[in-house]
Amino acid sequence: MQYWRQLILSLGGLVAIIAATAAFAHFLKRNESGLPVYWSVPDFSLIAHDGKPFGLKDLKGKIWVAEFFFASCAGICPIMNQNMTEVQKAFADNPDVVIVSITVDPKNDTPEVLREYRQNFNAMDGKWFFLTGDKKAIYRLARHGFKVAAEEVPPQEEGGATDFIHSDRFILIDRQGRIRGYYNGTDKEQVRKLIADIKRLLRE
């Protein structure tokens, strides 16, 4: 009886070791890109340039790059979006990679304005989405979801008339909706690194 009890305990331990090894191997496979895993992007619902609702559910299973910009910007935004065309070009034939540009000036950047603006960068349908919507929702998403704003404001002032967010960051998000990296969108070397990291995520 003692022999069988020891055998059962030994087999149980062996099963536990096998399970732990399998779990660890799965973890390594999911993180073989070597990229950090930050936080998950919260759910959101905005309006795309075509006037249709667009949210996190539309990005399920995709690898995507996000940015915050505004169409009347004459400073860094045109540079960023010109550099973003390199990301689009690199993955033009891969439906698993998309780009999401969110305006921080939704009062002026209507879907009609965004439709015209995106033509300046030959944005591909189904590949590069330009989003607008409620300013408070956008600013909460930028500040707390993507954390691209350094300054904090009182909740009652967030997204108000005097609140303004301007960031040069491109943000990389994986298939599980987790942020995996930040890149300077005005720096061509950083954009090349972003493209390389997207390829790493595609193998993850």
Q: What pLDDT score was predicted for residue 158?
A: 67
Whether 183 is covered by a domain: the verdict is yes
What pLDDT was estimated at residue 105? 97
If asked whether residues 52 and 26 sit together in one domain, one would say no
Strands ordered across the beta sheet of 63-69: 53-55, 45-48, 128-132, 97-103, 63-69, 169-173, 179-184
| Whether residue 189 sits in one domain with residue 98 | yes
The answer on 93 and 190 residing in a single domain is: yes
Give pLDDT tens digits for 69-86. Answer: 999 999 999 999 999 999
* Domain count for the chain: 2
With a threshold of 0.75, does the pTM exceed it? yes
Answer yes or no: do 15 and 75 share one domain: no
Beta bridge partner(s), residue 68: 102
Q: What angle do CA 50, 54, 58 make, to 5 degrees?
A: 120
- DSSP string spanning 133-202? --HHHHHHIIIIIS----S---GGGTTSTT------EEEEE-TTSBEEEEEETT-HHHHHHHHHHHHHHH
133 and 106 in a common domain: yes
What domain range includes position 7? 1-30
- Cα 96 from Cα 112, distance rounded (Å): 27
The whole-number pLDDT of residue 106 equals 97
The pLDDT value recorded for residue 184 is 98
Residues 159 and 186 in one domain: yes
pLDDT at 163: 74
Backbone angles phi, psi at 126, to 5 degrees: 80, -5
- Residues in the chain where the model's pLDDT stays below 50: 1-5, 7-30
What pLDDT is attached to residue 167? 94
15 shares its domain with 82:
no
Residue 115 inside a domain? The answer is yes
Q: Among 149, 101, 145, which Cα is nearest to 121's?
A: 101
User: Are residues 98 and 165 both part of a single domain?
Assistant: yes
Q: Is residue 155 part of a domain?
A: yes
Identify the pLDDT of residue 159.
75
Domain membership flag for residue 37: no
